Every structure is written in C-alpha cells, then in structure tokens.
Amino acid sequence: MSPPNARPFDPVEATVSEIHDAYETGETTAEAVADAHLARIDDHDDELNAILAVNRDARDRARELDAAFDRDGFVGPLHGIPVVLKDNQDTRDMPTTAGSTALAESRPTRDAFVVARLREAGAVVLAKANLQELSFGVDTVSSLGGATRNAYALDRRPSGSSGGTAAAVAASLGVVGTGTDTCSSVRSPPAFNDVVGVRPTMGLVSRTGIVPLSDTQDTAGPIARTVEDAARTLDAMAGYDPADPVTARGDGRIPDEGYAAGLDAAGLAGARIGVAREFFGLRNDESAPERAADRVTAVVEDAIGELDAAGATIVDPVDVVDHTRLESARVLEYEFARDFDAYLAELGDAAPHDSLADVVATGELHPSVQARFEDAAILDTDVDALDENTGYLRSLRRREAIRDAVLARMAADDLDAILYPPSRVPPVEIPDNQPFEEMNCELAAHTGLPAIVVPAGFTPAGLPVGVELLGRAFDERRLFELAHAFERATDHRRPPDRFVE
C-alpha cells in the first residue's frame, strides 16, 4: 500500500539523503524506489549494456525494509538504497561470474564481506554490473556481457574494469555502486562517467568473497554520483574482517562518526595540494593523439585553478616518483593465478572450475581478454616458488620504498593530497582498446594509499574528465572533505543527456 503522502518517485540523480527524507515524510517507499530503478534498467540498459543480472529478490527485500521502517525506523545508513554491485563480489542469492561464461553457473553460498555489510546497512542489492572479464583489463568487455558503453557517448569506452558500475550509476540505474580496484578500476571508470570513485587505503575494506586479480593490490571501493554518497557507502563497506587479516591494519582507524559526517563546503580553506606534473601528458606518443591528452590537461588545469579559488594552496610541481620505477613494482603477473585458484578452492563444490588455467582453457573468454593471456606470462608463473622468486620479491620491496618516498614528499611539503588526472587521455572510441599505459593508476595501487576521483569538467566534445587526489594512509576523512568542498564549489556533475528521462 502506498503511504498517504506518496507521489511518483523520480530516480534521476536521487541521493541517499533525498531518498531518506522522502521515506521520513511518507512521500515514497523502498519498494517504489526499487521499482523506479528497475524500470530504468528495463528502459535504458539495452543502450548502455551495463547490467549483467537483476536481483529477482530486490522487491521482496524492499518490502521487508518498508515493514521494518514502519515498526522501528531506518535499519541502517543505507536503508532502502538500491545498490549495483560489480559482478566479481559474491552474492548468496545471485551467480558471481566475473563477466565470464566459464563462471556463469558459479553460485557462492555466502555473501562477500562487503556485500554482507551493505545489506546490514539496509541496502537493496538491485543488480550486478558488467565488468572487464576477470577484471583483466580496462575496457569493460566480457564474454558474458559484451561491451559496456560510456554513459556520455555510446560510441566510447567507459574504462574498466568497473565500467559497468560506473556507467550504471551515472545513468541513475542505481543510487550507488561498488567496484574493485587493482589498478584504475574504481578511478578511471568514474572519471570517464562523471561520477565519484574511491580507492580506500589497503586494509580498510575486506577482500573476502571477491574474485581476485592481485592480492597485494586488490581492494573494493564505492562509486557514487556525489562525494557524500560515496562517503556513506564507504561507511557501510569498511571494517575489520577476521577472514582477511590485512583489515587488521584499519582496525581503529575508521572515524567513530563515519566519513560522511561533517563534510564542509569550506573544506579546502587552508588545504595544501601538490600537483604531480609527471602524470600529465602522453606517456606513449603512439597510444593516442597528442591533442587528446591536451584536452584532458586543459580540464585538469582549470580544476587546479578552481581549487586555488576555493581556498587551497597549490604546490606546483611536486616530484613524486618516475613512471619507470612505478612500473618496476608490478606484481599482477606473479599473483593472478595463485590468488584466483585460491578463490576457486574456497568456493568448494560451488566452483565450476579448479584453476585459472582451466578457465582460460575453455576458450570461452572474450577474444580480447583471451589474447591478453596469450601475450602475458601469467599461466607460466610457478606460484609455489614465489617466496624464492627474486623478481617478485624485488617488486614488493620497491613498493615499500615508493610508499615511503611518497609519504616523505607529502610530509616535506606539508601536503593534504597529491593531484593528477586519473587518465592522461579521454575515453576512446569503440572498438579501440583503452590504452592502459595512459592510466595513472599505479601510484595509489602500488603504495596502498587512498585516492578519490571527483568530476572535474568536460572536454569540448562533451567527454567527462576527472581529477584524482591521493592522500595519506587511512586519511579518507580528509580526502572526502577536500573532494566535497571541490564538488560544492564547482558543481561539475551533470547527468548524461541521453538518460535524463
């Protein structure tokens, strides 16, 4: 039954606080909000191709939340909020496929830790989003879901691997979403779709129940249309998980009041932000037209001016670390097979295959993903000898040195954050591949330090550009303050024209 003050719910650009206000005033219900978003998926996803599967239990869950609200009020900070999950996060009521037909029948018996936390916070798991198959790349193409399109230009890539979530949230197919980030995946897709993405400090968010790519780099993070909603979502996701010992690092480091509390439009006043110029302009002259990089740089330069106008002190430039040294700390080729096989082993009888090698051997992977395995040495790595693999151990040690150097630079210049574009180039046209070498993903990924991407504006062609802020370990609260103040001062977020109805 509709509440007495009910009126049609408009899901476009709706925020958590707006929806909660509507629940409190009796203007709508969780069931109506879920229905409105499910209708948008029906109406728009044929064009966007962001959603792999809709949760058939979403309406029942929403009704249960409405009954709970009538009895006791909100069950948690995300009460009745439709969430789109990246489909590499285990769900007890839906398959978890990582976008692969080879895993289409994989049905975990329990939720990933972050999914369980979201449900406890009152979220409605609405759907699961397409991703780059196995998260192995930055295009968001998969054998199960095909190619996801950019919400602002359907002939362009959304980046990846969390491109399905970012495009879905940008087009208001869900209120907030989740991604995972090994290197770029909750940062470049939000930048390319004019939304907010957060890579938390390594150890803040559990990886239990998430299809892995690289254990020492993987983390889950929120994707949302506003900084406040991203903060609310991280509030729900973060926490100590005994099954993931790395989360002991974050124990006691989460603010008691949460990340969403106390966001201030004046948060940039007195802030010191360093500009990492080595991450501007093309890295590979053959990867994209020079003018494409110039267009991204022009938008980011304007954002730097806006930060200055909002009260920040800009330290320009700051020397952080050169790209060659960052590249030398890559470990994915060593860890992928080891960690993926361990995930399958944990699934037990629910696992459709025994190993990554078996999945690749099916020949079912998307051709572009299959080709990446053929070009890489991932399946040739002796995972049982990693403790003695000098190349692997050297890369891990270099990470520690890079992290220490970055923190030392921040301390020496008294910086609150380091700024750079998450990608040196805008979204490429389909069927081209998004050039990984132009993604500035490795600084956060290799140091384990937190980073947030926030909309910074658009190129003359109408393609979104984001700006990334890297912070100190477990200082997400400060990053949210800076990003929120920038968001309020500039208002660069705008819905994609094609999906406003």
Per-position DSSP letters for 40-75, written without gaps between them: HHHHHHHHH--EEEE-TTHHHHHHHHHHHHHHHS-S
CA atoms within a 13 Å half-sphere pointing along the CA-CB vector of 77? 18
The per-residue pLDDT for 4 is 62
Residue 427 CA: distances (Å) to CA of 151, 165, 403, 468, 484: 11, 16, 29, 16, 25
At 157, phi and psi to the nearest 5?
Answer: -75, 150
Minimal CA–CA distance to 330: which of 371, 369, 381?
381
At 230, phi and psi to the nearest 5?
Answer: -65, -40
The per-residue pLDDT for 217 is 97
The per-residue pLDDT for 375 is 83
Q: How far apart are CA 87 and CA 185, in angstroms?
A: 13
Q: What is the pTM of this model?
A: 0.97
Q: Which residues are catalytic?
A: 86, 161, 185
The per-residue pLDDT for 254 is 96
Helix (H/G/I), strand (E/B), else coil: 330: coil
Residue 144 CA: distances (Å) to CA of 16, 51, 377, 388, 414: 31, 11, 24, 37, 48
The per-residue pLDDT for 185 is 97
Minimal CA–CA distance to 385: which of 454, 337, 329, 451?
337
Q: How far apart are CA 430 and CA 39, in angstroms?
A: 27
The per-residue pLDDT for 15 is 98
Handedness of CA 207, 212, 218, 222 (dihedral sign): negative
Q: How far apart are CA 171 and CA 175, in angstroms?
A: 9
Q: How far apart are CA 182 and CA 448, in angstroms?
A: 10
Residue 286: count of CB within 10 angstroms of its CB: 7
Q: How far apart are CA 129 and CA 127, in angstroms?
A: 7
> In this structure, are strands 176-181 and 219-224 parallel, antiparallel, or unpaired?
antiparallel
Minimal CA–CA distance to 124: which of 88, 80, 91?
80
* 72, 23 contact by CB (below 8 A): no
The per-residue pLDDT for 368 is 96
The per-residue pLDDT for 426 is 96
Return per-residue pLDDT of the chain as tens, 501 residues.
556 666 789 999 999 999 999 999 999 999 999 999 999 999 999 999 999 999 999 999 999 999 999 999 999 999 999 999 999 999 999 999 999 999 999 999 999 999 999 999 999 999 999 999 999 999 999 999 999 999 999 999 999 999 999 999 999 999 999 999 999 999 999 999 999 999 999 999 999 999 999 999 999 999 999 999 999 999 999 999 999 999 999 999 999 999 999 899 999 999 999 999 999 998 766 666 667 889 999 999 999 999 999 999 999 999 999 889 999 999 999 999 999 999 999 999 999 999 999 999 999 999 999 999 988 889 999 999 999 999 999 999 999 999 999 999 999 999 999 999 999 999 999 999 999 999 999 999 999 999 999 999 999 999 999 999 999 999 999 999 999 999 999 999 999 999 998
Q: How far apart are CA 439 and CA 449, in angstroms?
A: 17
The angle at the Cα of 155, spanning 89 to 376, to the nearest 5 degrees, equals: 55
How many residues make up the chain in this entry?
501
Q: How far apart are CA 268 and CA 262, in angstroms?
A: 13
The per-residue pLDDT for 323 is 85
The per-residue pLDDT for 3 is 65
Residue 232: count of CB within 10 angstroms of its CB: 27
Q: How far apart are CA 201 and CA 52, in angstroms?
A: 29
Handedness of CA 125, 129, 132, 134 (dihedral sign): positive
The pair of three-digit structure tokens given for residue 115, joined into one six-digit string: 């999914």
Which H or E run contains 335?
helix 332-347
